[in-house]
Structure 1
Amino acid sequence: MTYASRRGFALALLAATQFVLVLDASIVGVAMPSIGADLKFAPDDLSWVANAYTLTFGGLLLLGGRAADLVGRRRMFVLGMALFTAASLAGSLAAGPATLVAARAAQGVGAALVSPAALSLIMTIFPAGPERNKAMGVFGAVAGAGGAAGSILGGMLTQWLGWQATLYVNVPIGLAAIALAPRLLPEASDRTARGFDLPGALTATGGLALLVYTLVEADGAGWTSPNTLGLGALALALIGLFFLIEARTAHPLVPLQIFRRPVLRGSNLAAVLTLMAMAPLFFYLTFYMQQVLGFGPVRAGLAQLPLALAIAVTAGAAGSLIARLGLRTAMAAGLAVTAAGLAWFSRMSPDGGFLTDVLGPTLVIGVGAGLAFVTTTVGATSAASPEQAGLASGLFNTAQQVGGSIGLAAVVAISTARTAGALADGERVMTAALTDGYRAGMLAAAGIALAAALLAAAFVPRRNAAPVSDTATDQTLAA
């Protein structure tokens, strides 16, 4: 096997793995009614089939990224895939609610180890510049399409094979990844690391996990309820304590000087807003097509195929666009196009159809989001030194996960309030009231995407500095 073909197969393995991790966050969504009926979930508990994965995945990403630097990126990739695969098998065999929720939580832990390790391995295998940008384009194309593909595959598997298949499908993929990793992936770690920041790890994990939990529960408990305000304050206090610890410890989990790199800082902020806008889209596309247009699970899933294809095609071409336009311009343009598509989708009608209300907006959104996903990934990782590849990957994945949780919780609250108001006036039937809510939510998402575009234009540098090591001076870090 030649060096070039080996790298190509390695990229294919890492991209396919990330696709599965992203897909797994959404694939069970279509299967929820079947899961609830089969395992006799209480209505209030069913959301934990999704939330258990989100909670552990989002809470442990930062720790997983740093662990990849310290322990070894390939080692953490294999360990995480083994846990993810075993948890998927356990979930597919679950006979009760508690077993399934525990399995989903374990899946999230495995995913939090794999995802930053996979991204940092790409940074290790491909040198910075056009070659890495092309690799990131492929990685972003596959990963970005995973969110849209979840509903497609979830509907097919649930209807044809049962809800268990949405989890069992991960098992052969995971086993193949574990077998191929030693043959295709190099080992890499931060050989300069000394010690482990246990207080930082505990406060970061606790703060992030509690923040995600607070956000996913806020809509049900109420945004101004004592539960939401109290847990939110505690989460922010833990995160604040984490930064205080990092500023004082000799061997921090997250060296704070990494945030002095403008392109990394700006790209992570843009990533938060990008996922705040995009996470609600995948949620509301399914609900609009099933609850308003009357589509079945398979048809609703297939209707999202144009979105997935648009994301994949654009992300694949993003490396060339970055080289031609520059990172800042390409990122801002992708986010502006995303905002335009979301605003168009907010014009959906209760009497609409796929061709008139869904196809055009989702194609535009896919083009913008494909470019946005890749440019934020490149910006958030390109300024990191080789020994901090896992850390940069963990920071970026955390920004995406927390952004998605915040966006979904906030937009659902806006949408629910608008639907309730439309029903309260006594003049709207249910489908029209639901559509009113969805329109309000998508308009809010469009505003978030537009804010992300403006932020990228204002705070992402025109040119990125070369990656630097931890021993560089503050002057170099700020350049």
Structure 2
Amino acid sequence: MTTDSSLAPADQAAADAAFGTRERMALFVLLTASFTLAVDFSILNVALPRIGSDVGFAIADLQWISTAFAVCAAGFTLLFGRFADLFGRRRQFLVGIALLGVASLVGGLAQEPSLLLAARVAQGIATAAVTPAALSLLTTSFPEGPMRERALGLNGALMAAGFTTGAVLGGLLTDLISWRWAFFVNVIVAVAVLAVGPAVLKETRAQLRPPLDLPGAVTVTLALVAGVYGLTQAGQHSWGDVRSWGALLLAAVMVLAFIVIERTVSEPLVPLSVVLRRSTGWGNLAGVIAFATETSVVFLLTLYLQEVRGYTPLQAGLAFAVLGAGTVLGGVIAPRVIGHLGGKRAIVAGLVAQGVSTVPLAFLGDASGWLVVLLVATFVGGVANLVVIVGFMVTATSGLPDAEQGLATGLATMSQQVGITLGTPVMSAIATAAGAATAGHILHGVTTALAVNAAICFATAVVIGLVLPRHRKAVAA
């Protein structure tokens, strides 16, 4: 039974002591992989112009370097989450890491656009395979309660810090060495993980292997791929772009087809009973909002720093170092917050704190002291956001048997990646619409979008507070 009662100091000490050498090494391997994959989402963004000139991309085609990765990383994650349950989490994790290493080597050596895009597709597929496998290895390696919450807290901290680190590291590598090292770093990490991982990770898989729900797998993958593609096109072009709406319409049709299939097949890919559990469904909604709001804050503040304040990309990236520190601290303290408040209250409190920290950013301008406001607000927002992220992961993966942890973590990973993809185009559209009719259009658009961002945090906190169950019962594996 997982309850909302707080942990006694002795219990916490016992939980901390329960990490043996093998568990620590396994945790290190899994966290290293999670951090590296998070870095990959942002490490190439500041290097895109340089990559285009070196490899031969037209300016209009540069967006495909990011889109190819994002579509595959999000589109295949739910399918691979279920694969991990059925065919082995450790095996899938190691194969995915090997694919990441090979794809990154190819990308780093690429001399033509088609080869670089193929490498990015392979990196995205590797990310879709590794992320749910790593997360389910975490949840099955550590029992539900303080140990799992601590492990998920560390995972969330490094994962969130990875997005910020990627922007800074990408700028440093591009300016000081070469953008190609943004790929080669992955090769080094992959070799290290493959050297240590087989010795410290235990294989886990379902005892019974039901037949794969192929129609469900095809429709849900098409839905996710089309949905993410539509969102990225909206962000890069406009919400009026026909490709965006066409892809989103296809995604909606595929979702409906998927629901019909899952209701009729004997062994569904995603049992609707799992998705419809309040802790799983509403917990994942909180995750989507947490990732969408905080990643879009980074996007909006990047516009502010570079377009309004005149910062270089590297300077703007360094300004987010404080946010990165806040996310790390948030991941460290999140298990204790959850232990004292429970998952539901931790999510609500984190969303409220994140919203409060975003409100001052809606008033940024030319006044003296603006940088201090930005740094303090982003630090507090980073701490609060990680409390929400860890709270959602604990909530969405609790009360389920080990045989369904790949599915649960696949859903959580999907929520993460959909949130990352959703936040920027939505807030970009708001900023563009709000700033279109004003003289200082960029600043007004950014501050308006930040105000909406804060309002979304508050509204989600109210909804989660009303509908998310307070107690969760663990189900024996």
Tell me which interval the TM-score lies in, with the shorter structure as reference length: over 0.9
* TM-score, length of structure 2 as denominator length: 0.93
**Does the alignment pair 1:462 with 2:470?**
yes
Question: Shift of the alpha carbon at 1:416?
Answer: 1.9
**Does the alignment pair 1:447 with 2:463?**
no
- The 5 Å alignment of 1:326-365 reads 326-350=342-366, 355-365=371-381
Query: Counterpart amino acid of 2:461?
Result: A
Match of 1:249 in 2: 265
Change over 3 Å in CA distance of 1:353–1:177 after alignment to 2: farther
Distance in 2, Cα, partners of 1:203 & 1:341: 40
Between 458-467 and 280-289, the greater mean CA deviation after superposition: 280-289
User: 1:244-272: CA deviations, max 9, x gaps?
Assistant: 11111111111111124221121111111
Match of 2:217 in 1: 201
Between 450-459 and 316-325, the greater mean CA deviation after superposition: 450-459
The 8 Å contact of residues 108 and 181 in structure 2, kept in 1 or not, is answered as yes
Match of 1:19 in 2: 35
**Does the alignment pair 1:119 with 2:135?**
yes
- The 5 Å alignment of 1:48-447 reads 48-350=64-366, 355-422=371-438, 428=439, 432-447=440-455
Determine helix, strand or coil for the equivalent of 1:442.
helix
Question: Shift of the alpha carbon at 1:354?
Answer: 6.3
Determine helix, strand or coil for the equivalent of 1:131.
helix
Question: Shift of the alpha carbon at 1:282?
Answer: 2.3
Distance in 1, Cα, partners of 2:115 & 2:365: 41
Q: CA RMSD in A?
A: 1.7
Distance in 2, Cα, partners of 1:261 & 1:394: 15
The 8 Å contact of residues 335 and 372 in structure 1, kept in 2 or not, is answered as yes
The 8 Å contact of residues 151 and 286 in structure 1, kept in 2 or not, is answered as no
Change over 3 Å in CA distance of 1:138–1:186 after alignment to 2: same
Structure 2 gap ranges (5+): 1-17
The 8 Å contact of residues 69 and 189 in structure 1, kept in 2 or not, is answered as yes
Determine helix, strand or coil for the equivalent of 2:254.
helix
Between 359-368 and 214-223, the greater mean CA deviation after superposition: 214-223
* TM-score, length of structure 1 as denominator length: 0.92
Between 331-340 and 439-448, the greater mean CA deviation after superposition: 439-448
Query: Counterpart amino acid of 2:267?
Result: H
Query: Counterpart amino acid of 2:465?
Result: A
Question: Shift of the alpha carbon at 1:366?
Answer: 1.0
Distance in 2, Cα, partners of 1:27 & 1:225: 27
Determine helix, strand or coil for the equivalent of 1:418.
helix
Determine helix, strand or coil for the equivalent of 1:169.
helix
Determine helix, strand or coil for the equivalent of 2:436.
helix
Distance in 2, Cα, partners of 1:438 & 1:352: 19
Between 403-412 and 69-78, the greater mean CA deviation after superposition: 403-412
Distance in 1, Cα, partners of 2:423 & 2:19: 42
Change over 3 Å in CA distance of 1:350–1:168 after alignment to 2: farther
Distance in 1, Cα, partners of 2:306 & 2:245: 34
Distance in 2, Cα, partners of 1:32 & 1:286: 16
Distance in 2, Cα, partners of 1:260 & 1:212: 23
Between 117-126 and 441-450, the greater mean CA deviation after superposition: 441-450
Distance in 2, Cα, partners of 1:464 & 1:102: 43
Between 432-441 and 25-34, the greater mean CA deviation after superposition: 432-441
Distance in 2, Cα, partners of 1:180 & 1:353: 48
Match of 1:477 in 2: none
Distance in 1, Cα, partners of 2:447 & 2:186: 35
Structure 1 gap ranges (5+): 423-427, 470-479
Change over 3 Å in CA distance of 1:457–1:41 after alignment to 2: same
Distance in 2, Cα, partners of 1:179 & 1:285: 40
Query: Counterpart amino acid of 1:95?
Result: Q
Question: Shift of the alpha carbon at 1:350?
Answer: 4.7
The 8 Å contact of residues 233 and 243 in structure 2, kept in 1 or not, is answered as no
Match of 2:51 in 1: 35
Between 123-132 and 440-449, the greater mean CA deviation after superposition: 440-449
Distance in 1, Cα, partners of 2:236 & 2:315: 29
Match of 2:4 in 1: none
Question: Shift of the alpha carbon at 1:441?
Answer: 2.0
Distance in 1, Cα, partners of 2:368 & 2:402: 51
